[in-house]
Amino acid sequence: MKHFYSVDSVSNVGALVSDALAMKRHSVPHPHHTQGKSMLLLFFNPSLRTRLSTQLAAQQLGMHTICMNAGEGWKWEIESGVIMNMDKAEHIKDAAKVISQYVDIVGIRSFPGLTDREEDYRDELMQEFMTHAEIPVVNMESSIYHPLQSLTDLITIEEARADRAKLKVVLSWAPHPKALPQAVSNSFLQWMAKTNHEVTVTHPHGYELKEEFTQGTTIEYDQMKAFEGADIIYTKNWSAYEPYGQILTEDQHWMVNKKKMAVTNEAKFMHCLPVRRNVVVTDGVMNGPNALIYQQAGNRLHAAKTVIYNLLNQKNNG
């Protein structure tokens, strides 16, 4: 891989999942490839799991890490050719070239504004940075993709349900009081499309995701019907794609609870976290034996380690 931006950065998703499972079992195959190298983790938005797991992943690979909140640096200009006489003191081109002098790899988190759909879906900050960087770039959740989370999700599903070759996997919208990005859901569907599993997406009318992500899936507006016979329930809130970034309903009937889980095929419950308990999903499901949430969060470490290792070894190029 040159960069880890989306599923299209990866030539063989199945091989990457196998690499991550091997990394989890046997630790690092050849740590000398990464020993003594440096990684910058740059955050424009908050994080718990991504920040800790990616930093720790690099450290376990023998690397030096620097974590930086973007607010601690100069504000970046992203557009080319502009007269920079306003509040943005540093051009992204210069920042990317300078960062490339200091470290061997960089991770960036930058959420969408959720007001201008075309701007968000251009994912300009990530795109511009990758254009100018001379080192590999890891997408730690951009405006539209969260590939580290999706790789983690595939690893976790493989671990939990390796006994069944073809699963019914349900991505279920759930209510949330704040407008959230579509990145986790977009990426989850992109990565699931690389597996043999059957995917159903369930959400209230109006929460349709961008069509390119739901192609090949079944869309079911009746959540209970969608849950019937499911092997995996993956729950996530997202704001509307049209009208973009809006909350159309907070209907609590969409919260995942034990009654809904009872119609599944003893489905495992997944969520990328953080989650608002008793809004998105009940405590009963979160604390129940079928919840994979902590195993899933733990696998972020192995996903990050595998991605960093492969990037620094030019493995699994897309």
Region binding ligand CP by CB under 6 A among candidate stretches 65-73, 214-222, 234-242, 269-277: 269-277
Work out how close the CB of 89 gets to ligand CP at its nearest, in angstroms, rounded to a whole number: 28
Amino acid present at 122 = R
Nearest residue by C-beta to ligand CP? 50
Residue 275: both structure tokens together = 């989650």
Work out how close the CB of 152 gets to ligand CP at its nearest, in angstroms, rounded to a whole number: 8
Nearer Cβ to ligand CP, position 65 or 168? 65
Work out how close the CB of 273 gets to ligand CP at its nearest, in angstroms, rounded to a whole number: 5
**Quick check: 179 and 241 in contact, CB under 8 A?**
no
Q: What track of x and - describes contact with ligand CP for positions 219 through 258 (by CB under 6 A)?
A: ----------------------------------------
Residue 266: both structure tokens together = 């003893």
Nearer Cβ to ligand CP, position 129 or 188? 188
Nearer Cβ to ligand CP, position 263 or 273? 273
In degrees rounded to 5, what are phi and psi of residue 251? -50, 110
Helix spans in 37-192 (H): 49-60, 92-102, 117-122, 124-132, 147-160, 183-192
By CB under 6 A, what part of segment 129-148 binds ligand CP? Answer: 141
**Quick check: 117 and 241 in contact, CB under 8 A?**
yes
Among residues 28, 67, 273, 279, the one that binds ligand CP under rule CB under 6 A: 273
Nearer Cβ to ligand CP, position 200 or 299? 299
Q: Is 272 in the site for ligand CP (CB under 6 A)?
A: yes
E strands present in 191-253: 198-202, 218-219, 232-235
Give the strands of the sheet with 105-109, arranged side by side.
Answer: 64-69, 38-43, 105-109, 137-139
By CB under 6 A, what part of segment 48-107 binds ligand CP? Answer: 48-50
Q: Is 149 in the site for ligand CP (CB under 6 A)?
A: yes
Nearer Cβ to ligand CP, position 201 or 303? 303
Work out how close the CB of 284 gets to ligand CP at its nearest, in angstroms, rounded to a whole number: 22
What's the gap between Cα 202 and its chain centre?
19
Find, among 177, 219, 184, the residue nearest to 198 by Cα: 219
Residues in the interface with ligand CP (CB under 6 A) total 9
- The C-alpha atoms of residue 257 and residue 30 are separated, in whole angstroms, by 45
- The C-alpha atoms of residue 304 and residue 56 are separated, in whole angstroms, by 9
Among residues 12, 18, 38, 47, the one that binds ligand CP under rule CB under 6 A: 47
Find, among 45, 276, 15, the residue nearest to 155 by Cα: 15
Q: Which residues bind ligand CP (CB under 6 A)?
A: 47-50, 141, 149, 272-274
